[in-house]
């Protein structure tokens, strides 16, 4: 009598298959987390650019409202409304006698890099 040999098949994954799946998952997670980190960084930078340009424009409006002979260099901060933000106005002479260069610089001390915004007016 012939006996048929039955080969039993085990269900499950091999170690190699599990290792490949884990490496694909790890690579995917690294890409996702890096993208999320970059998104947060870009949102912070956009927030700074928007706030700093608004503050620089408001300070420039104050300077423009002042009599041109009374415009002088000065500095200060924006108080409790915008903590961490400071401003500096520099007034310099130009080659043209009646024209002055007025520069407003807004800085956020809480940021470590790319933390300044500059606005220039010739008047």
Q: What pLDDT band is residue 9 in, cutting at 50, 70 and 90?
A: low
Give every CB contact of residue 119 below 8 A, 6+ residues apart in sequence: 53, 56, 57, 60, 103, 104, 105, 106
In the predicted structure, residue 79 carries a pLDDT above the cut 70: yes
Q: What pLDDT band is residue 66 in, cutting at 50, 70 and 90?
A: confident
Write the Ramachandran bin of 94: left for phi over 0, alpha for psi from -120 to 50, otherwise beta.
beta
Placement of tokens 């503050």 in the chain: 55
In the predicted structure, residue 13 carries a pLDDT above the cut 90: no
pTM of the model: 0.72
Q: What pLDDT band is residue 3 in, cutting at 50, 70 and 90?
A: low
In the predicted structure, residue 60 carries a pLDDT above the cut 60: yes
> Whole-angstrom distance between the N-terminal and C-terminal Cα of the chain?
111
In the predicted structure, residue 77 carries a pLDDT above the cut 70: yes
Pick the CATH number of 16-122 from 3.30.1300, 3.40.720, 1.10.287, 3.40.50: 3.30.1300
Average pLDDT over residues 23-51: 94
pLDDT at 70: 85
């Amino acid at each position: 009598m012939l006996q048929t040999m039955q080969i039993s098949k085990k269900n499950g994954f091999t170690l190699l298959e599990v290792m490949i799946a884990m490496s694909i998952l790890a690579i995917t997670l690294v890409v996702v987390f890096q993208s999320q980190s970059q998104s947060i960084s870009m949102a912070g930078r956009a927030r700074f650019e928007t706030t700093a340009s608004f503050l620089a424009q408001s300070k420039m409006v104050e300077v423009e409202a002042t009599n041109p002979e009374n415009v002088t260099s000065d500095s200060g901060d924006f108080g409790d409304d915008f903590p961490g933000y400071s401003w500096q106005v520099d007034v310099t002479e130009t080659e043209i006698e009646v024209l002055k260069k007025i520069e407003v610089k807004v800085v956020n001390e809480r940021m470590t890099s790319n933390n300044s915004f500059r606005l220039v007016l010739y008047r």
